[in-house]
Structure 1
Amino acid sequence: MDIFLHILWNNVLPLSVIIGLGAFLHRMFTLDIKTLSKLNFYLFSPAIMFQLLYGTAISLGLLGNVLLFFTAFMLAQYAVTEAVVRLRGYDGGKRAAMRNSVLFYNSANYGIPINQLAFSGNPYTLSVQIIIMMMQSLVPNTYGIYSVNAHKADWRRIRNVILSMPVIYVIPVAFAMRGFHVPLPGFLDISIGYLANAFIGTALFTLGVQLGSMKGGIDRGLALDVGLSVLLRLVGGPLLAWGVVLVLGLDGMLASALIVSSAVPTSLSSVLLAVEFDNEQQFSSQTVLVSTILSIVTVTATIYLLRVG
């Protein structure tokens, strides 16, 4: 019960307040969601990624193990989701939205606090979560962009969009600067810090604006599809992660941190992609909202079953 209340009070309710403000202000003033989306993609997301990677010590051994897990886990998730997509007979846009809602999970503003809660601020498990967050930032900005555009644009245009994403350049730059001990000038450090701090609030606010733009609230016609997505993300995610760590022979704190990292709700990036590229916006918004609410129960159960914290 203590974990349940902690997640509700310190994770879900703060997120809900900002989402609610976005919905309220959009109803009042009809805000430009495209501008908010671009701020997230081109400014705030790259800033927080650089700040975390530049400021965190990560060993090559840990990096290799986490990347191996992440690759196997994503392939397993993709296979299961693809089976559901084919059984349901989704078209191009809906197929991409369903994949994104399961494959992309909230490893930043939800995953990092949950990691800190479950493992009592352990720096080792935090490093694990930051690597997962790095990949969960890179994949939506590459594969995610491809998936939502593949059915309506040619490869050359999609490639140009992907190459315009700052995150794919920020990651190697941050690693290189840390590896070669390149100091960051004080004024840049402060500026990046301000931008990084704006990421979570702006992303949540953007989700609220999208939800506020929906007519009549939750679309009952999407209930089954949203339910399948949430089931695959919140229940299928940690179960698949458990299977992957067993197959790879990972154990201890590393295995527990990886399983907890996989249990979090659908990422805001799925909504940002839907908004930016006009692809199944209502479905994407509702999966984030419903999975975030239900994660109070499922994440608590995952942490309890792992006997961590």
Structure 2
Amino acid sequence: MAVLFQILLQIIFPVFFLLGVGALLHRLLQFDMKTLSRLLTYLFLPTVIFVNIYQNDMTPSLLLEIGGFLLIQFLLLGSLAHVTAKGMKMDKKLAATFKNSVVLNNSGNFGLPVSQLVFQANPVGASVQIMVMMFQNIITYTYGLMNAASTEGKGTMNLKEILKTPILYALVLGFLFYGFQIPIPGFIWTPIENIADAFLAVALLTLGAQVAYPKLENFSAAFFLGLTGRLIVAPLTALAVISLFGIDGTIAQALFIASAFPMSRNSAQFALMYDNYQEYAAQAVLISTLISSVTVTIVIYASRLLF
């Protein structure tokens, strides 16, 4: 119990404290959300990805193992969400948003800061989360966008959106610099590290601002099933795949924790774009983020016991 309390105090409380500060400041000062979002997308996220990859110790076989895990978990979750939507006889628009809410998670603004706090003394854990985040970005603009657009007969893979994602190029550069052991002069490395260090606070303040104006009403069966799928079924699925692959240690901990993060804001964004139950999607993102304060704490605790 003492360990559980320490996780809540040392990891989860700092995350939600910054979320709260972000929400409060946005209500008082009315941030320019577009500018904040662009700063994260084009500066902070790519920089923190480059730094973590450049400093990582992951081998090609380990990267292949992580990739295999992510692919199988995605296929399992996607299949479960599809079967549930069919079984509940959801209409096409609700089914699309429901499936996205289960499969897509907030691996960037929420997941990476949490991983940085959990694995402060072990950068490999944060590097695993970066691989998860890259995979999530790919399925967001393929599976996620196709799901949402299919309700209007436009279910095509958006390769253009993937190629416009700056983190893809940060990932490639990170691996190139790491693979060829290219030295970076101190006068360049220092500002790069400073930007990377600022990511955690900026990401959480921005996420807090994004959920500053909650609109909570009309909770449905699909809403609760979506929460259950994202916060409970997803970690259990990850646990099964980890056992299947025989993964252990820090890698197993990082993958298990990464599976428990709340719903992605992109699922709400796609619902808004294609008018697919946008209120349901926005509420689900907010509530899953709040409830994850409990579920992610439990998963972090379980990861330390199991691995």
TM-score by length of 1: 0.78
SS in 1 for 2:112: coil
Q: Specify every segment of 5 or more residues in structure 2 that has no aligned partner in the other structure, as ranges.
A: none
Task: Report how far residue 260 of structure 1 moved.
Answer: 3.7
Q: How many percent identity over aligned positions?
A: 32
Aligned to 2:73: 73
Aligned to 2:198: 198
- Residue 265 (structure 1) aligned with residue 262 (structure 2): yes
Aligned to 1:95: 96
TM-score by length of 2: 0.78
2: CA distance between counterparts of 1:72 and 1:157? 20
1: CA distance between counterparts of 2:24 and 2:197? 22
Mapped contact 1:19–1:207 kept (Cα < 8 A): yes
RMSD over aligned Cα atoms:
3.6
2: CA distance between counterparts of 1:163 and 1:266? 23
Aligned to 1:54: 54
Mapped contact 1:37–1:276 kept (Cα < 8 A): no
2: CA distance between counterparts of 1:280 and 1:198? 35
Residue range with higher mean Cα deviation, 38-47 or 101-110: 101-110
Amino acid corresponding to residue 241 of structure 2 in structure 1: V
2: CA distance between counterparts of 1:105 and 1:62? 23
**Structure 1 190/275 Cα, relative in aligned 2: closer, same or farther at 3 Å?**
farther
Q: Specify every segment of 5 or more residues in structure 1 that has no aligned partner in the other structure, as ranges.
A: none
2: CA distance between counterparts of 1:157 and 1:74? 17
2: CA distance between counterparts of 1:165 and 1:29? 29
- Residue 111 (structure 1) aligned with residue 115 (structure 2): yes
Mapped contact 1:229–1:287 kept (Cα < 8 A): yes
**How many residues are treated as equivalent by the alignment?**
302
Mapped contact 2:45–2:167 kept (Cα < 8 A): yes
Task: Report how far residue 131 of structure 1 moved.
Answer: 3.5
Mapped contact 2:262–2:292 kept (Cα < 8 A): yes
Q: Mapping of 1:233-252 within 5 angstroms? A: 233-250=230-247
1: CA distance between counterparts of 2:255 and 2:131? 10
Aligned to 2:64: 64
2: CA distance between counterparts of 1:236 and 1:300? 16
Mapped contact 2:18–2:208 kept (Cα < 8 A): yes
Task: Report how far residue 46 of structure 1 moved.
Answer: 1.2
SS in 1 for 2:211: helix
2: CA distance between counterparts of 1:272 and 1:39? 18
Task: Report how far residue 41 of structure 1 moved.
Answer: 1.9
Mapped contact 1:105–1:262 kept (Cα < 8 A): no
1: CA distance between counterparts of 2:30 and 2:275? 17
Q: Mapping of 1:17-166 within 5 angstroms? A: 17-86=17-86, 87=88, 89-92=90-93, 95-96=96-97, 98-106=99-107, 107-114=111-118, 121=121, 128-140=128-140, 143-144=143-144, 158-166=158-166
Residue range with higher mean Cα deviation, 103-112 or 12-21: 103-112
Mapped contact 1:138–1:168 kept (Cα < 8 A): no
**Structure 1 268/47 Cα, relative in aligned 2: closer, same or farther at 3 Å?**
farther
2: CA distance between counterparts of 1:20 and 1:82? 34
**Structure 1 115/53 Cα, relative in aligned 2: closer, same or farther at 3 Å?**
same
2: CA distance between counterparts of 1:60 and 1:136? 20
**Structure 1 91/10 Cα, relative in aligned 2: closer, same or farther at 3 Å?**
farther
Mapped contact 2:93–2:277 kept (Cα < 8 A): no
Aligned to 2:295: 298
**Structure 1 300/282 Cα, relative in aligned 2: closer, same or farther at 3 Å?**
same
Amino acid corresponding to residue 110 of structure 1 in structure 2: V
**Structure 1 3/275 Cα, relative in aligned 2: closer, same or farther at 3 Å?**
farther
SS in 2 for 1:212: coil
**Structure 1 131/26 Cα, relative in aligned 2: closer, same or farther at 3 Å?**
closer
